[in-house]
Amino acid sequence: MVARQHFERLYQDTCILTEQRKAIQDPLTGIIKNGELEAISYPCRVSFKTLQTNDIINKLPSSSQTVVLFISPDLEIKPGTDIEVIRNNRHFAYTASSQVALYDTHQEIQLTLKSKHNG
């Protein structure tokens, strides 16, 4: 319990988890209604790791970034959940892209930047 409290002191960010509830069928009309969106805010920590690689074929350097969310192990976050991270008053939109790495003190979820489409 003490280790978890120390780990949760590192949570400087806030995340808003948005998940769609299950679709419901109206018993009178038989029409299926989309489930409502549920958004709840939680303290968290986001870690960024940049990997530098060299493209052997084109001989050009390239890099990729991995984003990992650290959050309480009490939450159930499914792959595909929309996650908005608020860090230093800036908002970043991500999607949970991996299965959860669950520990006694925290859970780790790899995030993918959510793409925006115009139109």
Residue pLDDT tens, the chain, 119 long: 788 888 889 999 999 998 766 777 778 888 877 766 778 899 999 999 887 777 667 777 777 788 999 999 999 888 888 899 999 999 999 998 878 899 999 999 999 988 765 54
What does pTM read for this prediction? 0.75
Q: Are 100 and 68 in contact (CB under 8 A)?
A: no
Domain annotation covers residue 26: no
Q: What is the pLDDT of residue 71?
A: 94
Instruction: Give a yes or no: residue 118 inside a domain.
Output: no
Residue 68 covered by a domain: yes
Amino acid at 21: R
In a domain, 27, yes or no: no
Find the CATH number of the domain harbouring 91. 2.40.10
- CA 29 to chain centroid: 37
pLDDT number for residue 55: 67
Give how many domains the chain has, as a whole number.
1
Judge whether 80 lies within some domain: yes
pLDDT attached to residue 94: 93
- For residue 74, the model assigns a pLDDT of 92
Give a yes or no: residue 98 inside a domain: yes
Residue 119 in domain? no
Query: Whole domain around residue 102: which residue ranges?
Result: 2-20+33-113
C-beta atoms surrounding 110 within 10 Å? 16
What is the spatial distance between Cα 40 and Cα 36, in angstroms, rounded to a whole number?
A: 13
CA distance 112 to 42: 19
Residue 45: predicted pLDDT: 95
With respect to residue 47, please indicate whether it lies within any of the assigned structural domains.
yes
